[in-house]
A and B are shown apart, each in its own frame.
Chain A
Amino acid sequence: MTKDTSNQFAGLKTVLTVLLAGSLAIFAGVAQAEWKLNLQEPVTDLARRIYDLHTFLTIFVTIIFVGVFGVLGYSLVMHTRKRGHKAADFHDNLTVEILWTLIPAVILVAIAVPATIALVNQRDTSKADMTIKVTGYQWKWGYEYMSGDATGIKFISVLSTPRAQIENKEAKGENYLLEVDRHLVVPVNKKVRILTTATDVIHNWSVPAFAVKTDAVPGFVRDAWFKADKEGTYRGQCSELCGKDHGFMPIVVDVVSEAKYAEWVAAQQKEMAAAADDPNKVFTLDELVKRGEKVYTTNCAGCHQPTGKGVPPAFPALDGSAIVKGPKERHLAIVINGKPGTAMAAFGAQLNDADIASVVAYERNAWSNKLNDVIQPAEVKALRGK
């Protein structure tokens, strides 16, 4: 039997080699096809390294596949009853079995080496030039610059694709579902450290061009980094199921030159100073409702719906709601602190006093809730932290 089998395996080697060459040719052909078949173009050293690692692995597994199934294919054609082939009688061969246990093991060790180097590099978040805190909310991202000139700049970034496009009432734009109202802006060639966290459920901050994908876990902080070496706009999406609008909270990052970045920082700071509300300003009902409607559309309408009817029972109606029509302290408290165990977030962390005052005033005066309530930012301030 031994002589017999060794002959078989020798004959097969030729078939194998031919098939390997063929597989490489096919692989090269497929890579040139029109439809997007591969990873996004990497713009960091690490992402490039991972891109190459993936290419290597894909070629490697393709070769294995073609090799193994080449052998099988030969057998399926040649060793059939139709061709009058008679079954051989062998069912053990220790040498062969040891070989095909050891050889894959050695190959796997060889793969593990570059994989380990890439991974160690990926996790090294030390010596960052700047740090940005990223907070996942249902369903938007909050950004806060923690170091450098931009320290203190913070904003919320929300999907900007119009509802009408999603509902197929309008033609879809170029960056459908991958566009937000405010981009994250970072300088080129700087090591940016990202700290992720969340307030409600687990989200995931992911930008494929940077090879960054890190969970944002409520109550914990994780980190990741990237150093983009090419200016441009890069897009990603939340990559952990986080509820209803998980598919609608994209990430957009602008990588800009040092000079443009400085300009952007200055503009942001100016804007923030101008937008800062005078804490003692007294609003009229009209002012509140007007401002509140805007706040409502960006922050609340996703769940409670523009009509205020909600999607009960998960997202209760606000139109005619007992809480909205009840004492305003209770209403304000829920908006500020959220409702644990539900999708109702603590907006105290996301919105300033004037925004909270106006959105609550809006809710109390919109639809059939004509309470004529006026709420001033000072009342919000007084309730915070209670």
Chain B
Amino acid sequence: MQASHDTHDHAHGDHGDHAHHGRAPGLMGWFTTTNHKDIGTMYLWFSFVMFLVGGAMSLVIRGELFAPGLQYVSPEFYNQMLTLHALIMVFGAIMPAFVGFANWMIPMMVGAPDMAFARMNNWSFWLLPPAAILLTGSLFVPGGAAGTGWTLYPPLSVQMGLGMDMAIFAVHILGMSSIMGSINIITTILNMRAPGMTLMRMPMFCWTWLVTAFLLIASMPILAGAVTMLLTDRHFGTSFFNAAGGGDPVLFQHIFWFFGHPEVYIIALPAFGVVSHVIPAFSRKHLFGYTSMVYAIAAIGLISFFVWAHHMYVTGIPLTGQLYFMYATLLIAVPTGVKVFNWITTMWRGELTFETPMLFALGFLFLFTVGGLTGLVLAITAVDIQLQDTYYVVAHFHYVMVAGALFSAYAGAYFWLPKWTGRMYDEALGKVHFWTSIVFFNVAFFPQHFLGLAGMPRRIPDYATQFTDFNAVSSIGAFGFGFSQLIFLWVVLKNIKGGEAAPVKPWDGATGLEWTLPSPVPYHTFEDPPVITEEHLAAAH
């Protein structure tokens, strides 16, 4: 431990006691650890590995699509790749990444010694690897993985082989993990805040996770139900989704998207939270409109349950249904707009500097707004009918998901890395990582808008020759983007091995309890609740 503990260190009344509380040595220590920082680290590494796996699959897809004709993979394998790419990215990479941030940061932000249910925390992490093995392992069973797209629509999913069942069980396990994680986060936030840390003084990241955790608890069981019905249709002769037995295939889509739309915000809200910390820190200003931000988050969370069928405009839902879902979807643009305006006003008349976390936060803002605005176009049912199931939609949700979630996660990682490891990362490399990422991302995904407009359907392994040029450009961008992510791995490994020691507060504009702790943070923090002062709250408040 560092000798230079100053008065800000509320954590360690008793240094002598400390050694007894460490992680058990070796691998066993990681299996048995209940420390929120250990578990956060494992979540983050897990998600990064899954991100690389899912990314490699996307490169198979983009490699095949570089030119028309079938080059490298069969259509069946292509379908398996696009399915696993999506499932792994959503459930294996993005969601665990933000749970990792939650584990690391929420106790430190609210002044709690650990998560509320430390043992359950261990269990919710260790459920992930088996799920990941089921998903990736399904590639190697007879018939291969599910080739239905991540939406798993029946009756196609009923035709699939063993790989489908493995995907269903993986979803069950991931759901359990998410629900346990959510219970933990809600309890920690509601019950373990330090005295003086009232709800409306709480950092924005905690607010976004509080709403997200409720969304998860409400929506994951619905997904679990849907895939269980699929399982019984497949094996036990039920006919939930089989018209011949009195069921309806479209029922599955309603259930799936009732989960699926909140899922979009489950991914987006924590990303909003991270950015709400980074932007004020590098603007040297308070977050503008804290209260309206909180209301906007709550509103987005609530409305997200009432817009699901905007994914189903072409399934033949009645006109009144289409109208309702169009209006509801437009409505959700209002609180989302409020958030963007708040971030921009936060920077307005600030004292801006552009370190890597800030660059990624700006990248997030830029790309997320593009995705949000194309979302507005897609919300209009009549227009959506031209664009549904085309590459326009693919471009749209990658702008929202990759930009929204991934860029924000990078902003957070660079922001808090000095706190985690106690060393500064290589700023120049970080900047290279940012610039290559944002340039290649746009090269990869912006042309897909044009492909979609011209009528190229999504989820096809081969295409008409008129789509050739933009596909080639998109593939080049995708490979560039993919390999740029290895720079981040390099930055982190370099940072772990060595580097300039980080001060307690490496970012002069940052505020919040976590910046009162030494760098690296001790294994145990806030065993005695800290005293909350206005200064601690400023950043995300």
Contacts and interface: CB of A to CB of B under 8 A. Distances in A.
A118 B389 CA distance: 20
A353 interface: no
Give the contact-size bracket for chain A: 35 or more
Given A36-B454, A213-B388, A215-B316, A101 B149 contact: no
B464 interface: yes
A40 B454 contact: yes
B275 to A, nearest CB: 13
B330 interface: yes
Contacts of B348: 8, 71, 75, 79
A194 B311 CA distance: 22
A87 B382 contact: no
Given A37-B450, A75-B350, A91 B385 contact: no
Interface string A96-129: 1100110011001001100110111011000000
A219 B385 CA distance: 22
A27 interface: no
Contacts, number: 289
Contacts of A116: 323, 326
Contact of B68 (A64, A172, A175): A172
Contact of A241 (B149, B288, B346, B450): B149
B153 interface: yes
Nearest to B382: A118
Contacts of B388: 213, 239
Interface string A20-52: 000000000000000111111000000001100
Contacts of A236: 455
A177 B456 CA distance: 11
A259 interface: no
Contacts of A246: 75, 79, 459-460
Nearest to B69: A168
Contacts of B147: 243-244
A76 interface: yes
B289 A247 contact: no
A85 B349 contact: yes
A336 interface: no
A58 B522 CA distance: 52
A96 B350 CA distance: 18
B159 A243 contact: yes
Contacts of B331: 108
Interface stretch (A143-151, A266-274, A276-284, A339-347): A339-347
B376 interface: yes
B369 A65 contact: yes
Nearest to B462: A247
Given A237-B455, A247-B460, A65 B158 contact: no
A204 B351 CA distance: 53
Contacts of B75: 244-248
Contacts of B349: 8, 75, 79, 85, 87-88, 90
Contacts of B277: none
Interface string B339-376: 01100111111111110000000100110011001101
Task: List 10 A-B pairs, minimum CB-CB distance, nearest first.
Answer: A219-B243, A247-B460, A91-B286, A222-B316, A61-B373, A118-B382, A88-B349, A87-B284, A87-B351, A239-B389
Interface of B: 68-71, 74-76, 79, 142-143, 147-149, 153-156, 158-159, 161, 234, 242-244, 248-250, 283-292, 314-316, 319, 322-323, 326-327, 330-331, 333-334, 337-338, 340-341, 344-354, 362, 365-366, 369-370, 373-374, 376-377, 380-383, 385-386, 388-390, 450, 453-455, 457, 459-466, 469-470, 541
